[in-house]
Amino acid sequence: PPDVQKLGVASWTFLHTMAAKYPREPTQTQKEDMSEFLKLFSHVYPCNWCAMDFEKYITKYSPRVESKEELSRWMCEAHNHVNVKLGKPKFNCDFWQQRWKDGWEE
């Protein structure tokens, strides 16, 4: 059976890294692409109930695509929403850059 945990860790690594590499000052096209990508991602994510919840989250809290900082914080909050749902501790979003850009040892 598909491994929802492994898929999750890999996907969050991808999503947070993508946000950390997003431009500080994105063009209009880059902003539109990112909004569209996250919407499509929520349609194709290969864990049905995860995807449905993520889609609802995106509809309620539109991805903040104005800058690297905004997108990275938005992603952190979206991840925290799942953490809380699963009974995991919240991550302090002030540390997004250390964790996902500069890097630290788990």
Chain positions contacting ligand FAD, by CB under 6 A: 4-5, 8-9, 11-12, 16, 45, 49-50, 53-54, 76, 79-80, 82-83, 86, 88, 91, 96, 99, 106
Q: Which is nearer to ligand FAD, 31 or 54 (CB)?
A: 54
Alpha carbon distance 83, 79 (integer Å) = 6
- DSSP label of 29: H
Give 28 or 102: the residue with its C-beta nearer to ligand FAD.
102
Closer to ligand FAD by CB, 31 or 74: give it.
74
Determine the Cα–Cα distance for residues 49 and 69; give it in Å rounded to an integer.
28
CB nearer to ligand FAD: pick between 26 and 72: 72
User: Which of helix, strand or coil describes residue 61?
Assistant: coil
Q: Which residue has the tokens 């002030």?
A: 94
Residue nearest to ligand FAD (CB): 8
Q: How far is the CB of 87 from ligand FAD (least distance, A)?
A: 10
Crossing angle of helices 68-85/4-20, nearest 10°?
160
